[in-house]
Structure 1
């Protein structure tokens, strides 16, 4: 099940608003500016076996109101950048409202909130205008080169380019 077009537009507009608010206009997108401004604490931990599950990350609200994002330190940095942006998606989309924690399983089922957080992360880190602008500047745009420029994993970049219908090599 995919997100509806109107949901995608709402999320795309929200991500654009946040990029503009934080002047995130150059590559790679510096999501640390958002974490710092919102006073969201960032941690890494081995999340490979939490009650039998491998977690990519989580966002939680402590009793004192502190918001924390924790990502799996066993994953590549580029994957964790996307995970942090995904968890910020939960934050900005209101998924923490009334909850203490939202957990993202690696390879877990993708309900609507998880797909929305993924879409937010893609829009935040790899906005279409910057994707197309970067592709135009490159003589022979490879998947790896694009992933490096945006500081995301090859898998995230491939999914994004395919979604946008943007051609690339290898």
Structure 2
């Protein structure tokens, strides 16, 4: 299989390494919250803390029909994997796509037993979120930064 040869995997090693690490840490963090986080732990008064919550929806609790949601998530991850494979040429892009894919995979794995995602970071009145969500957000931020850097370099040349 040419798709899985060392010639095709080696250039994307940062993408896959980041994806596997972020997925693993995201799943471990969610499992830890499920096991040990019984009551809210204040980190900065009422503003920031650890608080166990579950979420049946996708981003910010948005719910889709039960049949549509897993299909949409799976299609999105497959498309994003394909897109990253074809377009992540720089290390920053590989790490960014790896964070998004790993975070998405962690949320899918967390959702498998009961259809719920475990959330545990509470910041102000913002919806409670988890480490996988943070990976996705940071990855998207890095992709935007990469676009800005490329645009800036294009103007400088």
TM-score category (smaller protein) = under 0.3
The structure number with the bigger radius of gyration is: 2
Higher share in helix: 2
Instruction: Give the structure-1-normalised TM-score.
Output: 0.26
